[in-house]
Amino acid sequence: MKKLTFFLLLISAGIAHADWTPVAASFHDPKLYIDPDAIKIKLPGRLQVYHIADYAQTQIKNGDEFRSEMFGFEYDCDKSVFREMGHTWYKGGMASDLVVYFSKGDWTWTTPEVGSKEDVLLKASCK
């Protein structure tokens, strides 16, 4: 039931908040976006944030084609770590069209690899 609830939350977050703001990155694909209106402050220095990764070319996940991902991360800005709350892969760009794959987050705190999309998003979220 938790999985279904979070899945519906991710879908409703994408529908309810259409003002995705581009995030500057040193790479061009995927293009990264943040929803600044949906940022939730859980504790001082701890944020929950939704993002979209939008790809120029079709990608493959478990045999299914997708063009974008929407995911929720929780950040501990003071420690520069993140953990995934949930992740949805979409057939279309900008989290549109059919959902092709869904996973709930692993909830383990992780230090992002320098220069990775997770690193870029952490820095953009915690600024």
CA distance 64 to 19: 27
Domains of the chain are 2-125 (2.40.128.710)
pLDDT tens digits for the chain (127 residues)?
444 444 444 444 444 445 899 999 999 999 999 999 999 998 999 999 999 999 999 999 889 999 999 999 999 999 999 999 999 999 999 999 999 999 987 789 999 999 999 999 999 999 8
* Residue 81 Cα distances to 74, 78, 90, angstroms: 9, 8, 26
The predicted model scores a pTM of: 0.83
